Structure 1
Amino acid sequence: MALALVVGCGAGLGAIAFRWLIQTFTRLLSGHADYSAAGHAAHPGLPWLGPWFVVLAPVVGGLLYGPLVQRFAKEARGHGVPEVMYAVAHRGGRIAPQVAVVKALASALCMGSGGSVGREGPIVQIGSALGSTVGGVLRMPEDRRRLLVACGAAGGIAATFNAPLAGVFFAMELILRDFAVESFGAVVLSSVTASVIGRAALGNEAFLTLPAFHVGHPAQYLLFALLGAVAGAVGVAFTRVLYLIEDACDWAWRGPEWLRPAVGGLLLGGLLLALPQMYGVGYPVLENAIKGRYAVGLLLVLLVGKIVATSLTIGIGGSGGVFAPSLFLGAMTGTAFGVTAHQLLPGATGAVGAYGLVGMGAAFAGSARAPITAVIVLFELTGEYSIILPMMLAIVLATLTSRLLSRDTIYTLKLRRRGIDLDSARLTSPLSGATVHDVMEDLPTALPGTLPLTDTADTLARSGHGVLPVTGRDGRYLGVVTARAVAEALTEPDPALDAPATPCTVADLAERPQTVTAGMPLSGALHTLVAADGAGVPVLGAEHGEPVGWLTHQTVLSALHTPAHPASPAAP
């Protein structure tokens, strides 16, 4: 809980810094607080270029973040959430510390220079990298490190969107992919802490300012149900087009990867010249659509334009999230649906903006297939509770539609294309059901505690283990000694004499590693093996605490690559 509090504070401060970076780069590269609402305006600092500066802005941004990502953290490319999901499911929550800094700079530069992506993916990766770093520095077990990663993701979402509940359910449903009670408390604490810090710096206003909506006629529920199916299909289409354009960019590009965002930025700049509403995240455009300020034709153009702009931004190597674009697509779809329904059934449709709001949640559910998160996110981002029932109906139908049309979500498809299936991996893990006793090997010959260090060094060199058990005068287990400890003891100078210290016995260097017992699940012993010095750890019997076997990295690899666990020594 204390570490969750620390990670929450870090994620909150990181979210504030990230928001500031986005605003700074947007003003610097576009000359406006949000160019998507500025029309075809010129850059105040480059008036002689007129609106044509938007062709160059993505190129400049790409020249800055392309080499940064390629040199320091390649995993910062793209929309971020799949990398966090993979780290939690397959890497024990390990994320490189530099990812947080590189992702923040690259995503802020990408969005500030016109990249049509959102900030939820970057802030999830930034917060998760922070949580992983805290767990790594303190050498936490893998299960705790994964939990700290989820705490960082929840804190990042909570602070940047002023949505503590949304942060919790995003982390539980999409990152951890379970709702265990012991995890829930830590994630909530981190989310609340980050949200308090975010509100202190960014204010306590709802993320979107929208008029009040309500359901005035029971027939509207049928329309909302139909909208859910339509928006779910739009979410699936967005996923398909995103990876189709990414594949096309991979096929077309033959130059160095660091230059790809800049060259591809010319295509993105051309699109922004035609549709400046696609510049950056585009929340002002989203609000205008829900308030009914656009005709159906323009709404459909913006819908298609956003799909292409976001897909192109990711395809050329940009960095940013797909959550905000999903909301944008849902708003355009829902509002266009509402306008059309109002023209056909003027007396039974209600406010057009309600359909845009419901469409936002349904489109996200269709692309991410996270219905609980979609409901909570839309409620917190808008503060609009009056249409919670039609929103829930539409989101459930959007999720079902997505499941019928596609096996994967916008997040898991990226991993499946690499050959990674998160669901089947959890069900068919080679270590599932294995215990340490199933794979341990025979115990190497123990060193007597009275053995001098010079003889110990010779024995360790011949053993090939790099670490051996040590016994006392009574033959009982004292601990283990590593080759590194012996080498340091033999070469460390005496502080009082200008000569090497007199060698001691091996018993003076014996240390007890974290306990691994024969009946322990093999998956639970891995963090001890990874953290231990040397090439193995002793396996202790449950009755007397004496070594009965030896667990090494090689025995674990054997368990991973054989269909059945190898024969084990006699049970203790």
Structure 2
Amino acid sequence: MPQKISGHSWLIALAIVVGVASGLMAVIFYYLIKLVNAGIDLLADLGSARVVVYAMLGGSIVGPMVYFLAREAKGHGVPEVMQAVALKGGKIRPIVVVVKAVASAITIGTGGSAGREGPIVQIGAALGSTFGQWLNMSERRVKTLVACGAAAGIAATFNAPIAGAIFALEVILGEFTAGVFSLVVLASVAGAAVSRSILGSSPAFLVAQYDLVSNYEFLFYLIFGAIAMVVAQIYTKVLYKTEDIFDAIAIPEWIKPVLGGLLFGLFGLLLPESLGRGEEVMHSTLAGINPLEITPAFLAFALLALAKIVSTSLTIGSGGSGGVFFPGLFIGAMTGGAYGSVVHNLYPAITGGPGAYALVGMGAVFAGMTQAPITAILMLFEMTRDYRIILPLMLACGFASLLSGFYSKDTIYTLKLRRKGINLLAGRDANVLSSLKVGEIMATPVESVREEMTLGELIKIMQHSEHTGYPVVNKGGELVGIITLEDIRRTELPGRLEKKVKDVMVRKLILSHPEETLDKTLPKFTLQDVGRLPVVEKENPGKLLGIVTRTDIIKAYNKRLIQEEQH
């Protein structure tokens, strides 16, 4: 008789199904944008004014659609997914799949300066969430499927399966676990495979092969990392300031995208390269070619970077639907082109051309926007398949992300949530965590073991207990260490059972105390990858009061969320 499929095998199959579905939606979304974009030819008789008219027409459809059907489809999409994971157990309404796809296709197709990545993250996440809800799965598994859908969407959109998986973990979930990572990778591969089978396997950008000309360039790329961080912060602040301005305008919310279409359409008449996604302009820049008939080249690149910030802010800030990721890549490429043209003119013998710095700029500005350097590095590598410039890319991305973290705790995604009063920490609302104290959730009384006990005796205790780790106390009952099953496994087999607990235990402890809030406690678990923390008196670290686990924190967090919803 055939064996019954295990729960984990079923989850693997479901992750692949979500990946395939998200990949198909990415392809449909791609063609939907092309279809909408082709509609501008119907207004050919209007001449150059058709750009403005088409943009306003798009806004007149998107505004009511989003306002009356799915308000969470407004804007760039990624923060809404992060909010669903942190506060709603990963639950996203199924209607978001359709509304986000159509609204974003119309916004981008009618000339709006926005990207496909934010919408496809939300579309894929909504698909994963819908599957999880239909099958009445646990909150943890629904969140996992949300991450699978997001990863597959990114992988299919940019032909970047590795970056898609890392993006879902680094940005959406805010944490890495082995089990979730494997499922997200499978979904990401499935999404990319679907996209490649239909759209082809070419990289998103075909670039010249750039080498590091000299070791002196490391200094130039380090300086550029700081410049990229500043540009990323300017982009973020202008975006949300524009949103505030539109929010303050006393007209119905669903009409505001029409006003936004008018403004970015008029702006596009002056500089059409600032509209849409701008791939052709980026290709020229990555090839080291000045995309405008303006000299010097520095001025052309700088003007385009500034124009993209303005047009994207008008598009998204007015209520349009689309991503901020790809415009960030455009801004980064132009910033790099401007910087590269200057340093190459000053030091031609020891520096590469503007194309090399444009390539690095794409990743560096993204890293400065999101504080996600791993995603930035992998994304650029997969999108270009250019490994030769990986060291400058890593240097600039790492430095931009580091400086961005020093400047602000918020990213372009989390700032939108903070403006709503949501402060995320490891994928959870830190405001909720800060309202709970360790003393309220710690387990007590505590099962502890003596330091003079042998490992053989301890193993017998573990065999009759559900615990795999224990605080260790001395003869006076004072806390002196902690020992886990993993510590025992790392002990050499010969003579293992006769060894004393004190010879194996971990003495350098990470501690908590009853008055500590959970937002301060949670990061301690990742500090040394521990699963439990001893709780002691603040003034007397030797006095053991209780034990707190990561699971205790998650349960308390979810319980408080339910209580707040009821009130």
TM-score range normalised by the length of the shorter chain:
0.7 to 0.9
Match of 1:311 in 2: 313
Question: What's the offset of the Cα at 1:347?
Answer: 0.9
Match of 2:23 in 1: 12
User: Match for 1:232: what amino acid?
Assistant: M
**For residues 91 and 431 of structure 1, do their structure 2 counterparts lie closer, same or farther at Cα, with a shift above 3 Å needed?**
farther
Report matched runs for 1:83-232 at 5 Å.
83-232=80-229
2:391 maps to 1:379: no
State the alpha-carbon separation in 2 of the partners of residues 182 and 16 from structure 1. Answer: 28
Question: What's the offset of the Cα at 1:47?
Answer: 3.7
Q: Which runs of 5+ in 1 are unaligned?
A: 32-44, 439-519, 528-552, 562-572
Match of 1:428 in 2: 434
User: Match for 1:102: what amino acid?
Assistant: V
**For residues 307 and 555 of structure 1, do their structure 2 counterparts lie closer, same or farther at Cα, with a shift above 3 Å needed?**
closer
Return 261-270 or 79-88, whichever deviates more.
Answer: 261-270
Match of 1:392 among 357, 381, 394: 394
User: Match for 1:50: what amino acid?
Assistant: G
Match of 1:414 in 2: 416
Match of 1:257 among 237, 253, 260: 253
Match of 1:274 in 2: 270
**For residues 312 and 193 of structure 1, do their structure 2 counterparts lie closer, same or farther at Cα, with a shift above 3 Å needed?**
same
State the alpha-carbon separation in 2 of the partners of residues 558 and 282 from structure 1. Answer: 44
Report matched runs for 1:264-343 at 5 Å.
264-294=260-290, 295-343=297-345
Which SS does the other structure have where 2:403 is aligned? helix
Match of 1:362 in 2: 364
Match of 2:293 in 1: none
Match of 1:68 among 51, 65, 68: 65
Check conservation: 1:362, 1:394, Cα contact below 8 A: yes
Match of 1:78 among 75, 80, 86: 75
Question: What's the offset of the Cα at 1:154?
Answer: 0.2
Match of 2:37 in 1: 26
**For residues 432 and 310 of structure 1, do their structure 2 counterparts lie closer, same or farther at Cα, with a shift above 3 Å needed?**
farther
Question: What's the offset of the Cα at 1:435?
Answer: 6.4
**For residues 526 and 555 of structure 1, do their structure 2 counterparts lie closer, same or farther at Cα, with a shift above 3 Å needed?**
closer
Deviation string 1:341-365 (CA, Å, 9 cap, x unpaired) is: 0111111112321111001100000
**For residues 131 and 436 of structure 1, do their structure 2 counterparts lie closer, same or farther at Cα, with a shift above 3 Å needed?**
farther
**For residues 159 and 432 of structure 1, do their structure 2 counterparts lie closer, same or farther at Cα, with a shift above 3 Å needed?**
farther
Return 155-164 or 254-263, whichever deviates more.
Answer: 254-263
**For residues 296 and 430 of structure 1, do their structure 2 counterparts lie closer, same or farther at Cα, with a shift above 3 Å needed?**
same
Match of 2:546 in 1: none
Check conservation: 2:112, 2:315, Cα contact below 8 A: yes
State the alpha-carbon separation in 2 of the partners of residues 420 and 6 from structure 1. Answer: 32
Check conservation: 1:130, 1:149, Cα contact below 8 A: yes
State the alpha-carbon separation in 2 of the partners of residues 88 and 51 from structure 1. Answer: 44
Check conservation: 2:87, 2:561, Cα contact below 8 A: no
Check conservation: 2:288, 2:353, Cα contact below 8 A: no
Match of 2:493 in 1: none
User: Match for 1:352: what amino acid?
Assistant: P
Deviation string 1:31-52 (CA, Å, 9 cap, x unpaired) is: 3xxxxxxxxxxxxx44432222
Which SS does the other structure have where 1:209 is aligned? coil
**For residues 430 and 24 of structure 1, do their structure 2 counterparts lie closer, same or farther at Cα, with a shift above 3 Å needed?**
same
Deviation string 1:524-559 (CA, Å, 9 cap, x unpaired) is: 5999xxxxxxxxxxxxxxxxxxxxxxxxx9997399
**For residues 429 and 5 of structure 1, do their structure 2 counterparts lie closer, same or farther at Cα, with a shift above 3 Å needed?**
farther
State the alpha-carbon separation in 2 of the partners of residues 554 and 169 from structure 1. Answer: 30
**For residues 97 and 244 of structure 1, do their structure 2 counterparts lie closer, same or farther at Cα, with a shift above 3 Å needed?**
same
State the alpha-carbon separation in 1 of the partners of residues 260 and 154 from structure 2. Answer: 29
Check conservation: 2:55, 2:111, Cα contact below 8 A: yes
Match of 2:452 in 1: none
Which SS does the other structure have where 1:129 is aligned? helix
User: Match for 2:414: what amino acid?
Assistant: T
**For residues 354 and 523 of structure 1, do their structure 2 counterparts lie closer, same or farther at Cα, with a shift above 3 Å needed?**
closer
Check conservation: 2:285, 2:354, Cα contact below 8 A: no
Check conservation: 1:431, 1:560, Cα contact below 8 A: no
State the alpha-carbon separation in 1 of the partners of residues 561 and 114 from structure 2. Answer: 45
**For residues 6 and 300 of structure 1, do their structure 2 counterparts lie closer, same or farther at Cα, with a shift above 3 Å needed?**
same
Percentage of matched positions with identical amino acids:
49
Which SS does the other structure have where 1:407 is aligned? coil
Check conservation: 2:216, 2:350, Cα contact below 8 A: yes
Match of 1:531 in 2: none
Deviation string 1:149-190 (CA, Å, 9 cap, x unpaired) is: 000000100111111001100001000111100110100010
Check conservation: 2:432, 2:561, Cα contact below 8 A: no
State the alpha-carbon separation in 2 of the partners of residues 201 and 277 from structure 1. Answer: 28
Q: TM-score scaled by structure 2?
A: 0.74
State the alpha-carbon separation in 2 of the partners of residues 400 and 76 from structure 1. Answer: 31
Match of 1:235 in 2: 232
Question: What's the offset of the Cα at 1:144?
Answer: 0.6
User: Match for 2:213: what amino acid?
Assistant: G
User: Match for 2:266: what amino acid?
Assistant: G
User: Match for 2:75: what amino acid?
Assistant: G
Check conservation: 2:246, 2:256, Cα contact below 8 A: no
Question: What's the offset of the Cα at 1:112?
Answer: 0.5
State the alpha-carbon separation in 1 of the partners of residues 239 and 202 from structure 2. Answer: 32
State the alpha-carbon separation in 1 of the partners of residues 343 and 442 from structure 2. Answer: 63
Return 291-300 or 334-343, whichever deviates more.
Answer: 291-300
User: Match for 2:273: what amino acid?
Assistant: Q
Quote the RMSD (CA, aligned, Å).
Answer: 2.3
Check conservation: 1:327, 1:360, Cα contact below 8 A: yes
Which SS does the other structure have where 1:287 is aligned? helix
Question: What's the offset of the Cα at 1:404?
Answer: 2.8
State the alpha-carbon separation in 1 of the partners of residues 435 and 88 from structure 2. Answer: 13
User: Match for 1:16: what amino acid?
Assistant: V
Question: What's the offset of the Cα at 1:428?
Answer: 3.0
Check conservation: 1:369, 1:409, Cα contact below 8 A: yes
Q: Which has the larger radius of gyration?
A: 1
State the alpha-carbon separation in 2 of the partners of residues 305 and 245 from structure 1. Answer: 14
Question: What's the offset of the Cα at 1:292?
Answer: 2.0
State the alpha-carbon separation in 2 of the partners of residues 356 and 345 from structure 1. Answer: 17
Question: What's the offset of the Cα at 1:203?
Answer: 0.2
**For residues 432 and 14 of structure 1, do their structure 2 counterparts lie closer, same or farther at Cα, with a shift above 3 Å needed?**
farther
User: Match for 1:184: what amino acid?
Assistant: F
Check conservation: 1:58, 1:269, Cα contact below 8 A: yes
Q: TM-score scaled by structure 1?
A: 0.74
Check conservation: 1:260, 1:317, Cα contact below 8 A: yes
User: Match for 1:4: what amino acid?
Assistant: A
**For residues 437 and 347 of structure 1, do their structure 2 counterparts lie closer, same or farther at Cα, with a shift above 3 Å needed?**
closer
Return 285-294 or 143-152, whichever deviates more.
Answer: 285-294
User: Match for 2:25: what amino acid?
Assistant: G
2:563 maps to 1:557: yes
Which SS does the other structure have where 1:28 is aligned? helix
Which SS does the other structure have where 1:105 is aligned? helix
Deviation string 1:438-494 (CA, Å, 9 cap, x unpaired) is: 9xxxxxxxxxxxxxxxxxxxxxxxxxxxxxxxxxxxxxxxxxxxxxxxxxxxxxxxx
Task: Give the number of aligned pairs.
Answer: 440
